[in-house]
A and B are shown apart, each in its own frame.
Chain A
Amino acid sequence: DQQVKQNSPSLSVQEGRISILNCDYTNSMFDYFLWYKKYPAEGPTFLISISSIKDKNEDGRFTVFLNKSAKHLSLHIVPSQPGDSAVYFCAASGNSGGGADGLTFGKGTHLIIQP
């Protein structure tokens, strides 16, 4: 059973426009969420995170929104640039009482920025 879902395997956006990547989760114990970006032949790199006590976190062109009641988060990239073309992974974690259980990742969304 997938606890973190990224329902769009790929997304194509024109350069300069807004990219919106979505992520849904099912485990109500998750209380910390992260986005990672991955280029081919490289490991994922941390992009931005958000704690469940917030509903928005912003870092430059990147903003993450969290809707706890809907168990949904989204990553907005404005404006989109060619270098943003990569696979984006949503990840979640939560202290289930027995210590950290590692990050639970979605399967990723391949973002393609078109010139």
Chain B
Amino acid sequence: KAGVTQTPRYLIKTRGQQVTLSCSPISGHRSVSWYQQTPGQGLQFLFEYFSETQRNKGNFPGRFSGRQFSNSRSEMNVSTLELGDSALYLCASSMSPGYNEKLFFGSGTQLSVL
């Protein structure tokens, strides 16, 4: 069974631009979560989607948004990029939402904002 696939693997953008990251969950998994990893803050929860609906959102500004499609694939978008948005963005999938569901992570998209 294929794992969680994230594209692109690396991305370089400049301040003020916007970016879209993509995530394909494990087949059969319907819940997708996004996390931001930075050296200073560790992994921080961005949002979770299930059945095309955002279930929860972490403490991030409105520049960070996401969506989920009917095939469970998900995208996240960051608008008006700032230098501090440079991070590894990780997508995770699970069978269903739930606070004790085991998450399966992709390898991430490394975003660098110049």
Q: Once bound together, how far apart are the Cα atoms of A112 and B26, in whole Å?
A: 31
Complex interface bits, B21-56 against A, C-beta within 8 A gives 1, otherwise 0: 000000000000101000001111101100000011
Look across to chain B and name the residue whose beta carbon is closest to the beta carbon of A34: B102
With beta carbons under 8 angstroms apart, the residue of B33, B42, B107 that contacts A41 is B107
Q: Which size class do B's interface residues fall under? A: 20 to 34
Look across to chain B and name the residue whose beta carbon is closest to the beta carbon of A41: B107
Q: Is A51 an interface residue when CB atoms closer than 8 A count as contact?
A: yes
Residues of B within 8 A of A101 (CB): 45, 56, 58, 99
Q: Using a Cβ–Cβ cut-off of 8 Å, how many residues does chain A contribute to the interface with B?
A: 26
Q: In residues 84-114 of chain B, which contact A (Cβ within 8 Å)?
A: 90, 92, 97-100, 102-108
Q: In residues 56-81 of chain B, which contact A (Cβ within 8 Å)?
A: 56, 58
- A66 CB to closest chain B CB (Å) equals 14
Look across to chain B and name the residue whose beta carbon is closest to the beta carbon of A91: B43
User: Known pairs A41-B107, A99-B55, A106-B42. 4 more at Cβ < 8 A?
Assistant: A42-B107, A43-B107, A49-B100, A105-B43
